[in-house]
């Protein structure tokens, strides 16, 4: 989980940090994802990053939770009917986001 200092940031800054980190973990495996690249893209000091997350694993775990919540929110808000196949809806949604 993030440190309290992360939650003290504006919602926009929190979102920016998560989006940059998500991009890095999406483009690279966990082992190859670079905190240095994330920190550099955000333009913050390494010490500042560690005030938000204690480790790479902590950041990654939070990203998994963040993405899962986003997906659940989408499913809850969508107009998926019983007649539709859940996995078809999930695939369709994911493809639409990739094209964006």
Mean pLDDT lowest among 20-24, 43-47, 92-96: 92-96
**Averaged pLDDT of the chain:** 87
Under CATH, what is the fold of the domain 4-99?
Answer: Tetracycline Repressor; domain 2 (1.10.357)
Res 80: pLDDT = 53
pTM: 0.73
pLDDT at residue number 49: 94
pLDDT class of 92 with cuts at 50, 70, 90? confident
pLDDT band at 82 (very low <50, low <70, confident <90, very high): very low
Its sign, for the CA torsion 25, 28, 32, 38, is negative
Task: Evaluate whether 2 touches 53 at the Cβ level (below 8 Å).
Answer: yes
């Amino acid at each position: 989980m993030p440190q309290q200092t992360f939650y003290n940031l504006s919602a926009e800054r929190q979102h920016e940090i998560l989006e940059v980190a998500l991009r890095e973990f999406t483009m690279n495996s966990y082992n190859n994802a670079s905190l240095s690249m994330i920190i550099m893209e955000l333009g913050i000091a390494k010490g500042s990053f560690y005030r938000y997350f204690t480790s790479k694993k902590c950041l990654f775990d939070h990203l998994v939770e963040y993405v899962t919540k986003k997906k659940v929110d989408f499913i809850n808000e969508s107009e998926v009917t019983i007649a539709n196949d859940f996995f078809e809806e999930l695939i369709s949604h994911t493809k639409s986001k990739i094209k964006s």
